[in-house]
Amino acid sequence: MDWGMKNRMSRIIQKDGHTVMLAVDHGYFMGPTTGLEDLGKMVKPLLPYADVLMPTRGGLRNYIPPDIDIPVCLRVSGGTSILNETNLLHEGITVDIEDAIRLNVAAIAFSILVGQPFERDTLLGMTEYIDEANRYGIPVLAVTAVGKGLGKDARYLSLASRMAAELGASIVKTYYCKDFEKVVETCPVPIVIAGGKKVPEKDALQMAYDAIQAGAIGVDMGRNIFQSTNPVAMIQSVNSIVHKKYKPKEAYMLFKSKK
């Protein structure tokens, strides 16, 4: 690993080996999703509690001031919308590496979908991007998903996560599931979990805790933060689990105390 890659990785993964990534890239396939109608206004008070921001290039350019001091993990895959259910996540490259460099990114995020007829397109799209990004010392975070019907099952999520790592991803993002330690143990690169659809705060905090206990290095969470009744309190509570070893109960008490 060269210096640039190491430097970028150290900006993403903090000295304690953990990270809180704030995912706000949803607009690339969901449009103005609830909570991100004014992305800039939502994100600003959350930044002090996030280690990394994960936006799209349009989200970054239009809503985030360039003088912020936070590493950016830029989403560079897309091409389908939430209205196109059969092809959802049949993604290709949406941002050229040159533009990613221009935006001074610390990492890039690329989605793969394993277990669909079009899986090959997403896997080859990601490897193409990994080759480009590696040339400039930029790590790639693989956002892994599995085909409809396969569910959030350790068998399939470990398959997708291991594949992503074997294909060259530096970090893997996947969903938390039962027996999550099996997903972590068989993946040679660090794993962060996605939050998924909004659930009660107590449950989201429990999930974050369980994922860390199982060996995840952190979270890359979106809706469970920005759709919370109190997004600032929620990200503070998530941060306390990831970085301060808070138990779920303590983190939930912190959340409630901030209300």
What is the contact surface with ligand R5P in residues (CB under 6 A)? Answer: 23, 25-26, 111, 143, 194-196, 220-224
Spatial contact of 235 and 20, defined as CB atoms under 8 Å apart? yes
Taking the least distance from each CB to ligand R5P, the nearer of 195 and 248 is 195
In whole angstroms, the minimum distance from the beta carbon of 2 to ligand R5P comes to 27
Which candidate, 45, 70, 106, 68, places its Cα nearest to that of 235? 45
Taking the least distance from each CB to ligand R5P, the nearer of 7 and 210 is 210
In whole angstroms, the minimum distance from the beta carbon of 246 to ligand R5P comes to 19
In whole angstroms, the minimum distance from the beta carbon of 122 to ligand R5P comes to 12
Give the phi and the psi of residue 177 in degrees, each rounded to 5. Answer: -150, 170
Please state, in angstroms and rounded to a whole number, the distance separating the CA atoms of residues 192 and 219.
Answer: 5
Taking the least distance from each CB to ligand R5P, the nearer of 125 and 195 is 195
Which candidate, 222, 221, 217, 212, places its Cα nearest to that of 246? 212
Residue 196 burial by Cβ neighbours in a 10 Å radius (0-12, 13-18, 19+): middle
* Catalytic positions, written as ranges: 173
Taking the least distance from each CB to ligand R5P, the nearer of 130 and 193 is 193
In whole angstroms, the minimum distance from the beta carbon of 103 to ligand R5P comes to 17
In sequence order, the 6+-apart residues with CB closer than 8 A to the CB of 32 are: none
